[in-house]
Structure 1
Amino acid sequence: MNQPVAWGVLGCSGIAERRMLPALHEIEGSRIAGLASRAPARAERFAAEHGGTAMSYEEMIDSPAIDAVYLSLPNSLHFEWARRALRAGKHVLCEKPMTISAEQTGELVALAAERGLLLRENFAFLHHPQHEVVRELVERGRLGRLRTFSSAFGVPSPRAGDIRYDPELGAGCLLDVGVYPIRAAQLMLGEGLTVAGATLRVDTDTGVDMAGHALLVSENGVFADLEFGFQHAYRSRYALWGDAAHLSLERAFTPPAEHRPLLRLEEQDHAEEFTLDASHQFRDSLASFAGAVRDGRTPEIERSWLRGARETARLVEAIQETAVRVRQRGAVPS
């Protein structure tokens, strides 16, 4: 494929406006061809600011001018519109979580493989090179034998009326922020994680989960201690603890493009810090996907993305099924 990838943005969301659309303007070999919203005026505003043609969802799916769809709808709508886009022959970059169930995710993965199309879950943080530095330090034995991975992602409560409080739209902190520590645990510990226990704090009236904690175990016995929620001061971190040293990384999931990550490695009588290069993970996520579309093939890396999506969905479902629920009245702002 020699022509630029023609993108359709399906869902004029906040993440699309703040992060993904500006990043699309910065990558070569891509152009914004269409923007779709349920509110025509919003699609028109996005088109005026970012280029492309304002469309309805259906027009975007049917348009032969669109090669790839970036999908940023509410969680419960991901499955329907990703499936329709794949059936129409379009590649799909879907905001996390890919769907709200393991069954739905499995169906999309199978459909993409059958049609020879790209399907990725947009965990942009996986494209930041800081995580490869961490993996290299672990593989070089700097931590000794790894014993525990811990991670936390918490954000202040969204405003009243936010869609993340709506059970019909796939609400809750597990699907919104909890999936990040889950995906990071997979990155560092591999596939085959088991959920040993979990707890969720839920709003009594809506049933929406507001905070959570999960304990996972890897196939070789490493613990993964994960915390997440909507009731916290902002925190985005993970740490790895071995029998020789401890390594920690702050701002692990949503670092600004100009942020220079700081890794801190602590041994019993020695501490060392590594200041890494800044990286624009949203731009890199889009550039990686567009490059794979232009290549016109689905190498092993694409199969890895599909396995990762299925594994994330499986673990989310296992946490939901395992969790002890702590009830809290009035947890959702009114």
Structure 2
Amino acid sequence: MLKQVKWGILGYARIAKTSVIPGILKSDNAALYAIASSDADKRKECSELYPETIVYESYEALLDDADVAAVYIPLPNSMHKEWATRAMSKGKHVLCEKPIALNSEECSEMLEAAERYGVILMEAFMYRYTDRIRRVQEVLASGELGQVRYVQSTFRFLLNRPNTIKVQPELGGGSLYDVGCYPVNFVGMVTGQMPQSCVVQTVMDNGVDVLFSAVLRYPDGTVASINSGFNAFGQLNSEIVGTLGRIDIPDTFLGKAGSFTVTTESGVRYIEVEESDRYALEVTDFSAAVLEGRRPLCSLEETQRNMQVLDMLLAAMRGDEA
């Protein structure tokens, strides 16, 4: 019989309900074992939708369940460090929503906890599991673009849900934390470096950035532009420009089928990509890492760098606000 990792969900958040729980249910090596919520209505819904799943009234009760092997944390950003650390102290492996923490200091403490308790910790950048990103990485590895000189990545959408945690500064709201972290991760994947400087422009509303743009410069001369926002029509695309060619990637962070283009002196060619169930693939890989005692796809070294870049951008943003 195939071994399965028993998963617990801390908080019945929108992303858990619509994406990660379905991913767990589709994964052969994962089982939806327990859900915890302090909201009675959400607990009732969970009991009705998943009758074979244990529903707890508190996060602590779920973490005290010895049968829970892995925990998924979709809580507000400001709660990631506390509950990831509590889960790891109970011997649970942790898949934590992005951004993994509010700053690199919190991130470092979480990484230290993972090492101390001997558990796996991963930041949930599900887009890294898509056929689209795999094919982009193949083009980069081939050297067809030459030396990368410029990267652009954008993730914005029009936020029309009032009172969401995305616009509450005390919970770690703002477009950079919510969706800007995807372009930050993408640019880091392409460059493999820490930027040496940045320039930031923002539009603020009630203490959070609803539009964020930054230009980053890297030690080797590469320049990157990242953009995110809540206040305008959706835009989701990236571009990588090298000395010998360019890749244009629509729908960079999505799992749907489509194509992207590679342009060189030889002309333009289209690379077709297959539909990818990002969340099921993420859960399957993480569960396999638990069962096999190996690292999952997204490394903690990259996670630490992501948070250091966010620190740099946030510091520049606060200076921009002043």
Higher alpha-carbon deviation: 163-172 or 36-45: 36-45
Is 1:4–2:1 an aligned residue pair?
Answer: no
Is 1:168–2:170 an aligned residue pair?
Answer: yes
Residue of structure 1 equivalent to 2:80: 78
Q: Is the CA contact 2:30–2:283 (under 8 Å) kept in the aligned structure 1?
A: no
CA RMSD of aligned residues (A): 1.9
- Structure 1 SS opposite 2:320: strand
Residue of structure 1 equivalent to 2:95: 93
Identity fraction in percent = 26
Equivalent residue letter for 1:136:
E
Equivalent residue letter for 1:247:
I
Residue of structure 1 equivalent to 2:142: 140
Q: TM-score, normalised by structure 1?
A: 0.90
Deviation at 1:326, TM superposition (A): 5.9
Deviation at 1:254, TM superposition (A): 2.5
Q: Is the CA contact 1:35–1:47 (under 8 Å) kept in the aligned structure 2?
A: no
Separation (CA, whole Å) in 2 of partners of 1:166 and 1:38: 20
Higher alpha-carbon deviation: 267-276 or 50-59: 267-276
Q: 1:201 to 1:52 in 2, by over 3 A?
A: same
Is 1:69–2:71 an aligned residue pair?
Answer: yes
Separation (CA, whole Å) in 1 of partners of 2:158 and 2:133: 25
Residue of structure 2 equivalent to 1:223: 223
Deviation at 1:34, TM superposition (A): 0.6
- CA deviation profile, 1:16-65 (whole Å, cap 9, x unmatched): 11111111111112111111112033023123213411102110111112
- Structure 2 SS opposite 1:42: helix
Q: 1:170 to 1:122 in 2, by over 3 A?
A: same
Q: Is the CA contact 2:167–2:174 (under 8 Å) kept in the aligned structure 1?
A: yes
Separation (CA, whole Å) in 1 of partners of 2:197 and 2:112: 25
Deviation at 1:116, TM superposition (A): 1.3
Deviation at 1:166, TM superposition (A): 1.1
Residue of structure 1 equivalent to 2:303: 309
Deviation at 1:267, TM superposition (A): 3.0
Aligned pairs for 1:1-334 (under 5 A) are 3-50=3-50, 51-55=52-56, 56-203=58-205, 206-255=206-255, 259-268=256-265, 270-295=267-292, 297-299=293-295, 305-323=299-317, 325=320
Deviation at 1:325, TM superposition (A): 3.4
Separation (CA, whole Å) in 1 of partners of 2:6 and 2:216: 40
Q: 1:2 to 1:107 in 2, by over 3 A?
A: farther
Q: 1:158 to 1:104 in 2, by over 3 A?
A: farther
Q: 1:326 to 1:157 in 2, by over 3 A?
A: farther
Separation (CA, whole Å) in 1 of partners of 2:44 and 2:67: 18
Deviation at 1:269, TM superposition (A): 6.4
Equivalent residue letter for 2:239:
A
Q: TM-score, normalised by structure 2?
A: 0.94
Q: Is the CA contact 2:81–2:106 (under 8 Å) kept in the aligned structure 1?
A: yes
Deviation at 1:268, TM superposition (A): 4.9
Q: Is the CA contact 2:194–2:309 (under 8 Å) kept in the aligned structure 1?
A: no
Separation (CA, whole Å) in 2 of partners of 1:171 and 1:150: 23
Q: Is the CA contact 1:156–1:232 (under 8 Å) kept in the aligned structure 2?
A: yes
Q: 1:254 to 1:130 in 2, by over 3 A?
A: closer
Equivalent residue letter for 2:214:
A
- Structure 2 SS opposite 1:159: coil
Separation (CA, whole Å) in 1 of partners of 2:131 and 2:230: 27
Deviation at 1:15, TM superposition (A): 0.7
Residue of structure 2 equivalent to 1:332: none
- Structure 1 SS opposite 2:9: strand
Question: Which runs of no fewer than 5 residues in structure 2 stay unpaired?
Answer: none
Separation (CA, whole Å) in 1 of partners of 2:15 and 2:94: 16
Q: Is the CA contact 1:117–1:298 (under 8 Å) kept in the aligned structure 2?
A: no
Deviation at 1:138, TM superposition (A): 2.2
